[in-house]
Structure 1
Amino acid sequence: MTDAPLTISDRIQRQLDDLTRAERQLAHSILENYPASGLGPLSALAKDAQVSVPTVARMVQKLGFNGYPEFQTELREELKAKAKDPIAKHDTWAGGAPSGHILNRFTDAVIDNIRHTLGQIDPQDFDTACAMAANTKRHLFIVGGRVTHTLAEYLFLHMQVIRPRITHIQSTSNTWPHYLLDVKPGDVFIIFDMRRYENNTLKLAEMAHAKGAKLILFTDQWRSPVHQLAQISFSSRIVVPSAWDSAATPLLLLETMVAAVQDLTWGDTKDRMEALEDMFDQTKLFRKFT
């Protein structure tokens, strides 16, 4: 981990668990429109977040500032530093498009999301999570939600090749209670839950946790309520210039996890891959050109 100064965004994320409900609402509003949300008057920020002016004042103090003017001064310094950052000066990613083109704006946002996300992750926590996912003595369950089920399915497809004793829990609430019947203490759940957080996912996590399962959570920068139950949580920055949140950063994390677990289990994984390829040959699933 680096010793770089904490940004205002970093401070907010570190304080999330200690904030009141109104302060968390304010924090989410600031992060969602960061950094533009903090550049206007205090009253405007309070109105946008639908909280009181005193709530903003308390929040600013909790972040370590003497007042709103000092908070804004620090925010402006961050913006100046960002303008000097080499990333902000790079040639446009799509050379044939202007710097303001959606291809370049979206790419800039994704790269910024990745940089901030990796800066918040403890490599030791990541290694621990990968070791948990690789432990074939424990059953591995993977579950996502309405949108994040695509991430869960992607991870499951790879893990199914890498190791045995793995289950993909369908996100519909009328089926997942059946999966909980055989959960044993120490079993591992990998859960994907991004905003808008789903009640079904939280209930599943609560029941799995009550049975002694260990939870690994992939969530967003505001963190799903499941993080209070999880042994390890990975918070990804997901905001991009779109009506939809980006899955690029969590996808990077889970693909890295696949690579790490594959390395940890390579002896057995290689045997499973060879057996799978043999079955593919027998079923003629893929075309061969030799």
Structure 2
Amino acid sequence: MSKPAASVRELIREHYSTLTQSERKFANALLENYPAAGLASITIVASNAEVSTPTVARMVQKLGFKGYPQFHQALLKELEAQVSGPTQRRANWASEAPEGHLLNRFAQAVTDNLGQTFSNLDYEQFDRAVHQLADTEGRLYVVGGRITRALADYAFTHFQAIRQHVTHMTSSSATWPHYVLDMVEGDTLLMFDVRRYETNLQRLAELAAERGVKIILITDQWASPITSVAHYTFNCWVEIPSAWDSNISTMMLLEAMISATQEEGWDETRERYERLDELFDMTRLFRKFS
């Protein structure tokens, strides 16, 4: 399976240091409202970013496009990928699927996803996010969507053992105002949102951000709209030969965060683990082997 083509967002990050000041102005305007800011004509997008048309033309060529039409088409394809449902996703990969067993194609796709995810990971941002997750001065809230609520549940189970003051928000958005009511500046909200992005999660993020809550977002390569209010955003590559997206790279990133958070405050965490084991022994929840 061939390596997935780089997104326009990735190309901008890769070539950002080579851009002029005016080209960076357009690049920043595009990233702030991605990909919508680049879906109009070249004259309109240039005007909206307050740069000249030649500036836009030069920048798209620096990104490797022959001209603005090819750049525009690439953004349209990304937008189509963002909103595609299971039937369309399967049609996309089935029409391009190489010969060979599904297991081999699946394994290659997952391997590519992991490579893409970690090669695009900002390690300094990762460390800052982990420091935020380990900060027990504030409460940690965890929430996911229709598919990602399983990831949120997994995260909650581990973070609850690692640190105090952890709240798992229910999957019912009707109950979320009760949680928001108690959110204060200094709290942290760990969110999972992948395509199709959920409007209720976006509104929750906006309400939390207004209260000074630090938002850590784990999303896919196309990036949830929550990115606009998130303090830390992590993009995970998710496409596989299936009608559904994969959570493997997302889970690996989450487990790395859990491990790093555990190490951040190991002395306190170790004591919690020991006390927790004592409680498990008292309740005889788990079988002990001699």
TM-score by length of 1: 0.72
Question: d(CA) in 1 for partners of 2:70 and 2:209?
Answer: 42
Partner SS for 1:195: coil
Asked whether the 8 Å contact 1:162–1:269 carries over to 2, the reply is: yes
Map Cα deviations across residues 76-103 of structure 1 (whole Å, 9 max, x no partner). xxxxxxxxxxxxxxxxxxxxxxx82111
- Determine the structure 2 residue equivalent to 1:272: 272
Q: Which structure is richer in relative contact order (CA contacts within 8 A, separation 6 or more)?
A: 2
CA–CA distance in 1 between the matches of 2:132 and 2:123? Answer: 14
Partner of 2:6: 9
Secondary structure of the corresponding residue to residue 280 of structure 1 = helix
CA distance in 2, matches of 1:70, 1:239: 23
Change (3 A) 1:20 1:240: closer
Which residue is equivalent to 1:21? 36
Is the Cα contact below 8 Å between 1:215 and 1:231 reproduced in 2?
yes
Secondary structure of the equivalent of 1:282? helix
Matches within 5 A, 1:31-180: 63-67=63-67, 100-180=100-180
8 Å CA contact retained: 1:134, 1:264: yes
Identity %: 47
The C-alpha deviation readout for 1:205-254, integer Å capped at 9, x for no partner, is 00000011111100001100000000110001100000110000010000
Distance change >3 Å, CA 58–CA 20, structure 1 → 2: farther
Partners in 2 of 1:24 and 1:192 — Cα distance?
27
Tell me the CA shift for residue 62 of structure 1.
8.1
Structure 2: any 5+ residue segments left out of the alignment?
Answer: 13-26, 41-56, 72-98
Structure-2 change in CA distance of 1:19 and 1:191 (3 Å): closer
Between the aligned partners of 1:66 and 1:106, the Cα distance in structure 2 is 33
Give me the whole-angstrom Cα distance separating, in 2, the residues matched to 1:20 and 1:246.
Answer: 23
Inter-partner Cα distance in structure 2 for 1:209 and 1:69: 37
Return the alpha-carbon distance in structure 2 between the equivalents of residues 259 and 179 of structure 1: 27
In structure 1, what is the Cα distance between the partners aligned to 2:257 and 2:283?
30
How far apart, CA to CA, are the structure 1 residues paired with 2:281 and 2:123? 39
In structure 2, relative to structure 1, the CA distance for the partners of 1:61 and 1:130 (3 Å cut) is same
Could you tell me which residue of structure 1 aligns to residue 221 of structure 2? 221
Uncovered stretches (5+) of structure 1, i.e. residues with no partner: 1-6, 26-56, 72-98
Instruction: Summarize deviations over 1:97-131 as a string: whole Å, max 9, x none.
Output: xx821111111101101111111111000000000
Q: Measure how far apart 1:23 and its partner are.
A: 4.7
Q: Which residue does 2:77 correspond to in 1? A: none
Q: Give the C-alpha shift of residue 276 in structure 1.
A: 0.8
1:150 offset after TM fit, Å? 0.4
Whether the 8 Å CA contact 2:137–2:186 is kept in 1: the answer is: no
Q: Distance in 2 between matches of 1:58 and 1:224?
A: 28
Compute the RMSD of aligned alpha carbons: 2.7
Q: Does the 8 Å contact 1:12/1:63 carry over to 2?
A: no
Shift of 1:20: 5.4
The residue number in structure 2 matching 1:33 is none
